[in-house]
Structure 1
């Protein structure tokens, strides 16, 4: 009986020692992982989706984005964009590209932005004179300001490179909504 007690006690202490030592090792490893992955604590993802449908008109846009928050005042990131626009019996276009964005929040409710956008434009005009296809790069430089409430910003931006005759945007001023999670 005494021999069984010693064996059981030895087995129990061995199990406790092994599991206790093992969990202590994992706790140390998790601490190291947290300090190494601090980068992702500063990253936010978001972007925009657009859909416009009318009488013979379709406009679809997808623009995912990611920003890195350097601190509570300054953020910078990248975005990609794809747009498809079609006006029946007149016009169709595919636009794709990317942009670099910098955000500055001097106070919590105000966001000032600069965005450099480069889009490849493939468009075709279909009219009574025939088809006319155009393939070109469109560069835009937007300066903007908006009201920010947590992860959502409503504002307006201005394309300083806008030209009325050679641009894919109808106006230099554009409203925007930014959402980051």
Structure 2
């Protein structure tokens, strides 16, 4: 029941974000309409992550593009998508995909605080047995702290929703975040 409520809250939050951006774009006077799209896109930054890992019978490929809107020099809000493929030869193959909402706060130019709500669909296929395959949703709520220099931030984040069924090996994860 708690997960159902969480999904409802998440959907409501995403609808409010969409309404906010829609009202910001269309609430301007007609004289401002021609300059508004340019002003909007000046505050948008694109970035994300790319990961490749190969080992003895192990493959890890991930792609996670995202975009943020800078409200001012202190606050930004964005959306991201993610796809990850994991395979351990003779054991399993897994596909993870989903999206995230990220909020960034820069109290001073060098420090970045972040929160990120991530929702991933996990599909795990165990080799040799379809009956042990798993398909489920995994939710993460990350709180992060990083050092920022220009467009890049390096730091760590902690998943406050970690439990024994978490898809990550640890609740704490280092990160490098770059937006252009």
Give the TM interval when normalised to the shorter protein. 0.7 to 0.9
- The residue that corresponds to 2:16 in the other structure is none
Alpha-carbon distance in structure 2 between the residues aligned to 1:152 and 1:33: 32
Residues 91-110 of structure 1 show CA distances to partners (whole Å, capped at 9, x for unaligned) of 21000000000000000000
The one-character-per-residue Cα deviations of 1:132-169 (angstroms, maximum 9, x if unpaired) are 100000000000000000100000000000113x1110
Deviation at 1:125, TM superposition (A): 2.2
State the 4+ residue runs in structure 1 displaced beyond 4 angstroms.
Answer: none
Q: 1:90/1:73 Cα in 2 relative to 1: closer, same or farther (>3 Å)?
A: same
Q: SS of the counterpart of 1:118?
A: strand
Find the counterpart in structure 2 of residue 41 from structure 1: 42
| Structure 2: distance between partners of 1:34 and 1:115 | 31
Cα deviation code 1:59-111 (max 9, x no counterpart): 00000000000000000000000000000011210000000000000000000
In structure 1, C-alpha distance between the alignment counterparts of 2:72 and 2:64, rounded to whole Å = 24
Runs (5+) with no aligned partner, structure 2: 1-31
Q: SS state of the match for residue 59, structure 1?
A: strand
Q: What SS class does the counterpart of residue 37 from structure 1 fall into? A: helix
Indicate the RMSD between aligned Cα atoms, in angstroms.
Answer: 1.5
| Partner Cα distance (2:123, 2:80) in 1 | 20
What residue is the counterpart of 2:168 in the other structure?
A: 169
The residue number in structure 2 matching 1:140 is 140
Structure 1 length-normalised TM? 0.78
